[in-house]
Amino acid sequence: MSALENGSGKREFEGKRALVTGGSRGIGAGIVRALLDAGAEVLTTARSASATVPDGASFVTADVRTPAGARGIAEAVRETLGGLDVIVHNAGAARPHASIAAIPDEEWQDALDINFLAAVRLDALLAPAMREQRSGAIVHISSAAVPAVAPQFLHYTAAKAALENYSRGLAAELAPAGVRVNTVTPGRVVTPGGEAVREQWAQLDPTQVHSGSPVPLGREGQPADIADAVLFLLSDRASWLTGSNLVVDGGEFPRG
Ligand code: NAP
């Protein structure tokens, strides 16, 4: 039996309806592709459509940083999928600054909105139906940079730390209804957003950790590495797993 098949020979996510935020490129597009390959019906989102939205996925334009954006996505879920079995909160962004003092107030709010509150707002709109149907799986995408608390990124890592904490709390609340909630924490993954941020960071601080330091497992991550971990946590193979945080980073940022 292949990992993508279940006992009946069907593909593992056949009949499942999935929402992935930020699926127009990078890690999100990798997760969308993996879910489509496994048989899911997928709706994805971004602020603008692009040629890299995987074929076969439905797409809605929305800015996840605002309550109106979250409501628009929830409406599109109802119209396109009718209901939901899987949510992947992937949209996120980081912009480095020279120091903590140089992070403007509005960027603290922006970092919280996209990396933390977007998930809180969407879950508030979508998780009640999962609770009612007594099934569902949610994954939040964090960052392996959280424990490093680099001053240049403190708005980003603080928001992702809040997301990890929130994810565990939501897992506890939804477990009695059979809805599982987990976090996947990527390390250094080759994506348009990741590469752009690391370049900006290297310009601000040429000594930063990513300037040439090797990943212990010998290579940088690819979106498919993260998608594999996400699909495992969403699948029935993880049916006794909730409130966990799976770090997928080639061994770069060990957590004790
Ligand atoms: P990416 O290449 O920049 O892709 C981000 C995706 O999110 C795009 O589809 C983008 O489309 C969408 N997005 C960005 N801002 C949005 C907004 N305000 N509203 C709606 N959609 C928005 O990023 P990535 O590297 O794949 O990162 C994906 C996730 O992994 C993020 O949560 C990131 O923090 C996390 N992560 C990445 C790495 C890495 O090394 N790549 C490491 C650790 C964690 P639009 O721009 O058109 O909106």
Residues lining ligand 1, Cβ inside 6 A? 22-28, 45-48, 63-65, 90-93, 114, 141, 143-144, 186, 188-189, 191-194
| Residue type (1 letter), 186 | P
pLDDT digits (tens, 9 = 90+) for 100-150: 999 999 999 999 999 999 999 999 999 999 999 999 999 999 999 999 889
Catalytic residue among 13, 59, 153, 156: 156
Give residue 136's region: left, alpha or beta (phi > 0; psi -120 to 50): left
- Quick check: is 7 in a domain? no
- The CATH code of the domain that includes 230 is 3.40.50.720
- Quick check: is 178 in a domain? yes
The rounded Å distance from CA 191 to ligand 1 centre is 9
CB-CB neighbours of 251 under 10 Å: 11
pLDDT digits (tens, 9 = 90+) for 21-60: 999 999 999 999 999 999 999 999 999 998 999 999 999 9
Instruction: Give pTM, 2 decimals.
Output: 0.96
Ligand 1 atom nearest residue 145's Cα: 43
pLDDT digits (tens, 9 = 90+) for 51-62: 999 999 999 999
| Residue 18, pLDDT above cutoff 90 | yes
Residue whose pair of structure tokens reads 């809805």 in the numeric block: 179
Contact 1, 7 (CB under 8 A): yes
User: Could you tell me how far CA 104 lies from the centroid of its own chain?
Assistant: 25
| Residue 19, pLDDT above cutoff 80 | yes
pLDDT recorded at residue 87:
98
Single out the residue of 153, 171, 164 nearest to residue 246, CA to CA. Answer: 164
pLDDT recorded at residue 214:
86
Residue nearest to atom 32 of ligand 1 (CA): 92
pLDDT recorded at residue 210:
55
Catalytic residue check, 166: no
Q: Which domain holds residue 71?
A: 17-188+223-248
Per-residue pLDDT, averaged over 150-168, amounts to 97
Q: Mean pLDDT score of the chain, rounded to an integer?
A: 94
CA gap 221, 152 in Å, rounded: 22
Contact 57, 23 (CB under 8 A): yes
Contact 45, 53 (CB under 8 A): no
The rounded Å distance from CA 90 to ligand 1 centre is 7
**Number of domains forming the structure of the chain:** 1
pLDDT recorded at residue 204:
87
pLDDT recorded at residue 7:
62
- Quick check: is 153 in a domain? yes
